[in-house]
Amino acid sequence: MNKEELHSVIGEQQPNICQMVVLKNGNIIYSDTWNDFNADDNIHIASVTKSIIAILIGIAIDKGMIKSIHQKVLDFFPDYVLKRGEKTIHNITLYHLLTMTAPYKYKSEPWTKVCTSEDWSEAVLDLLGGKSGIIGEFKYSTLGIHILSTIITKASNMTTLEFANEYLFKPLEIKERHLYTVKNKEEHIGFVTSKEPKENGWFCDNKGIVSSGFGLCLSAEDMAKIGQMCLDKGIYDNKRIVSTEWIEKITTPYLTTDEKFGFMKYGFLWWIIDEEKKIYSAIGDSGNVIYVNTEKNIVISVTATFKPLVFDRVQFIREYIEPFVLE
């Protein structure tokens, strides 16, 4: 296929895609847009946000602000008052949050309860653990990892947004992000489902702490820079952003998920697509993706407007985009 044919195939088979950027050997070899989006527009990248948070945790560890991934969650919340009978929470560490192996006291995430609370972090801590909570079983959570952002704020004496702007976005030449606030449930839903370009924003709670599980708005070009930095083992433009050791840790598979998640392997808030070939991805709802193939030195980033249940985006990348790149 040539570029015009690829543009048509993407538009027909993946109609909610907004932007795509493809890098090979660090150079842009394909960049395109659909659905009236511009290359520099920002899109809500949904759960790709989780993978960015994982990078920020690594930077905080590199700087000695956080001791290790095995540090207890409650170390960062010394004033938190435990619920009666609670025992499990004492043993939950950053490792369990990063690998989605922390237990929670719910079957489905209580969005209204948390997002209407006066303190999101406290509300999440109230849900963490349980009298019979089992640590170590995979339980994917978007709200439950909100406290990772709070931990960065507490450890760095900066807001997570300030920390990200200073130590990640600025060195990657990504425009400074700003807090994105909503007044009510309707605005919250609108932020997630709107198909219009977004501000340079990051969704935050009512205390100005950015959400860890969703809410960051970037362009595909921004995402490609993050992917290239990961592919280059923490270096961008000859600058060290995060340690090589941390990139290796976040892209190491620690467990295999269940059928719901296609039996994919999971690292530290990154999905491992092919362990042998060292292919890994940040994946968000609607098919937002940062795809990194270290064997072929390829980075592919995709942004997309809201569309539930898009499960084939990585498969599409491997079937159509990678062959185009390798040609």
Give me the average pLDDT of each 10-residue run along the chain (327 residues): 93 97 97 97 98 98 98 96 88 97 93 95 94 87 97 97 98 98 94 95 96 98 98 97 98 94 96 96 98 97 95 95 91
Specify whether the CB–CB gap between 169 and 177 falls below 8 A: yes
Can you tell me which residue has the tokens 């490609």? 224
Cα 106 from Cα 249, distance rounded (Å): 29
Burial string for 288-312 (b: 16+ CB within 10 Å, else e) reads: bbbbbbbeeebbbbbbbbbeeebee
- Say which DSSP state 262 is in: T
Residue 132: per-residue pLDDT? 72
Length of the chain: 327
Cα 62 from Cα 156, distance rounded (Å): 12
CA 17, chain centre distance (Å): 18
CA atoms within 13 A on the CB side of 228: 21
pTM for this predicted structure: 0.97
Specify whether the CB–CB gap between 40 and 231 falls below 8 A: no
Residue span(s) of the chain under CATH 3.40.710.10 come to 3-48+158-326
Tell me the CATH architecture of domain 3-48+158-326.
3-Layer(aba) Sandwich (3.40)
Can you tell me which residue has the tokens 């697509």? 273
Specify whether the CB–CB gap between 194 and 121 falls below 8 A: no
Residue 130: per-residue pLDDT? 83
Cα 156 from Cα 145, distance rounded (Å): 18
Specify whether the CB–CB gap between 58 and 81 falls below 8 A: no
